[in-house]
């Protein structure tokens, strides 16, 4: 399938500058030529326009930059949706994880029942009530499940976007109290670092693929680079030690490629300002290679 790249230079969903440069950093790491080398037809649609935090007001401290995040996620949703309509694979570069609200809104309306893989050190299952930070990047999975601020939950005019039984979280190692409650309440399958250590990534991915592809007609991958260990992906705003290794993450992507289930993907939270020589964008691009079928032999 042909691929359409979309850049989302979003940094309003969290507190550290520089993640708006993530899409540029990923392009600089030669994403497009790698994918073309694998035989794909690739177009780059360019960036969604996002206002800089200096030019706007924070607003409600429990839902920082709510109005602007809603507006730019609506725009991203429309762009992603038109890519799906054109029978192309949307591949979105970020940008902080609040952008997933827009990406998922744009893809999920094209499926009756979409599966979702949330690869992250965090749950992103807070709401304005439970969030310790007020940062919307820590709420984007809850919002996609229909829980949280109605303005965000109803982006693109429908809710919820995905169901908890079709959602898996992989790599979690830092969850807030409200997020743990929501996981128990909704019954979301979470493969924490404990399960990855104990079962191994191969078995975790077998189970995860089984869950997200059961009775679904599309699967979205939302990959937060902080799911990886900070040694392998240092250029992220909220690093948490003890993460998924470079090799484990490749195996996960290779198994997704083999399963052939993905219909859209986003690579988020790349912050080149906090990075060492663009290592994190390079890892993101290498993982995209595996997602799109690159093999050693
Ligand atoms: C934290 C951090 N749970 C919050 N979340 C992050 O602010 O809600 N998500 N960093 O990726
Ligand atoms: Mn995240
Ligand atoms: Mn995270
Ligand atoms: Mn199912």
The predicted complex's ipTM stands at 0.94
137 Cβ closer than 6 Å to some ligand 1 atom: yes
Q: Is the CB of 96 under 6 A from ligand 1?
A: no
Which atom of ligand 1 is found nearest the CA of 135? 7
Instruction: Decide: 29 and 280 in contact? Cβ < 8 Å.
Output: no
Q: Which two tokens stand for residue 43?
A: 């177009």
What is the gyration radius of the CA atoms in the chain, in angstroms?
A: 17
- pTM summary value: 0.98
Q: What is the pLDDT of residue 253?
A: 98
pLDDT value at residue 74: 98
Q: Which residues have CB atoms below 5 A from the ion given as ligand 4?
A: 165, 214-215
Residue minimizing CA distance to atom 10 of ligand 1: 238
Closest-approaching ligand to the CA atom of 177: 1
pLDDT at 232: 98
Q: What are 297's two structure tokens?
A: 């032999």
As a three-state string, the secondary structure of 243-255 is: CECHHHHHHHHHH
Cα distance between the two ends of the chain: 22
Tokens for 79, please give them: 């762009």
Atom of ligand 1 nearest to the CA of 139: 8
Here the tokens at position 103 are 């990406």
CA dist 13 and 15 (Å) reads 7
SS3 84: helix
**Directed axis angle between helix 279-291 and helix 246-259, to 10°?**
30
> Which tokens hold the place of 15?
């507190």
Q: What is the pLDDT along the chain (297 residues), one digit of tens a residue?
A: 999 999 999 999 999 999 999 999 999 999 999 999 999 999 999 999 999 999 999 999 999 999 999 999 999 999 999 999 999 999 999 999 999 999 999 999 999 999 999 999 999 999 999 999 999 999 999 999 999 999 999 999 999 999 999 999 999 999 999 999 999 999 999 999 999 999 999 999 999 999 999 999 999 999 999 999 999 999 999 999 999 999 999 999 999 999 999 999 999 999 999 999 999 999 999 999 999 999 999
Q: Identify whether the C-beta of residue 45 lies closer than 8 Å to the C-beta of residue 79.
A: yes
Span from the CA of 39 to the centroid of ligand 3 (angstroms): 31
Using an 8 Å Cβ cutoff, are 283 and 232 in contact? yes
3-state secondary structure of 67: helix
Report angle CA 287, 212, 177 to the nearest 5 degrees: 85
Q: Each residue of 155-177: b (16+ CB within 10 Å) or e?
A: bbeebbbbbbbbbbbbbbbbbbe
The residue contributing the CA closest to ligand 1 atom 1 is: 138
Q: Which of 122, 148, 230, 267 to mutate to test the pocket of ligand 1 (most atoms within 8 A of CB)?
A: 122
């Amino acid at each position: 399938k042909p691929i359409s790249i979309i850049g989302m230079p979003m940094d309003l969903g969290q507190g550290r500058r520089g993640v708006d440069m993530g899409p540029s950093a990923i392009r600089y790491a030669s994403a497009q030529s790698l994918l073309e080398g694998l035989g794909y037809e690739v177009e780059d649609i360019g960036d969604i326009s996002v206002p800089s935090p200096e030019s706007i007001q924070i607003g409600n401290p429990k839902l920082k930059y709510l109005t602007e995040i809603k507006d730019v996620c609506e725009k991203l949703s429309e762009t992603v949706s038109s890519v799906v309509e054109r029978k192309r694979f949307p591949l979105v570069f970020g940008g902080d994880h609040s952008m997933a609200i827009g990406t998922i809104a744009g893809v999920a309306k094209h499926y009756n029942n979409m599966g979702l893989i949330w690869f992250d050190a965090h749950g992103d299952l807070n709401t304005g009530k439970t969030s310790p930070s007020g940062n919307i990047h820590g709420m984007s999975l809850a919002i996609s499940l229909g829980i949280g601020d109605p303005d965000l939950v109803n982006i693109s005019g429908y809710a919820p976007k995905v169901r908890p039984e079709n959602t898996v979280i992989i790599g979690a190692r830092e969850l807030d109290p409200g997020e743990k409650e929501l996981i128990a309440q909704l019954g979301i399958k979470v493969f924490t670092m404990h399960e990855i250590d104990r079962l191994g990534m191969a078995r975790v991915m077998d189970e995860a693929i089984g869950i997200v592809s059961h009775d679904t007609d599309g699967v979205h991958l939302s990959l937060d680079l902080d799911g990886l260990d900070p040694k392998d992906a240092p250029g992220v705003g909220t690093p948490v030690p003890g993460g998924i290794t470079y090799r484990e993450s490749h195996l996960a992507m290779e198994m997704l490629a083999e399963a052939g289930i993905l219909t859209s993907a986003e690579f988020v939270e790349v912050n080149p300002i906090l990075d060492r020589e663009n290592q994190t964008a390079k890892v993101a691009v290498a993982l995209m290679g595996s997602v799109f079928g690159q093999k050693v032999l």
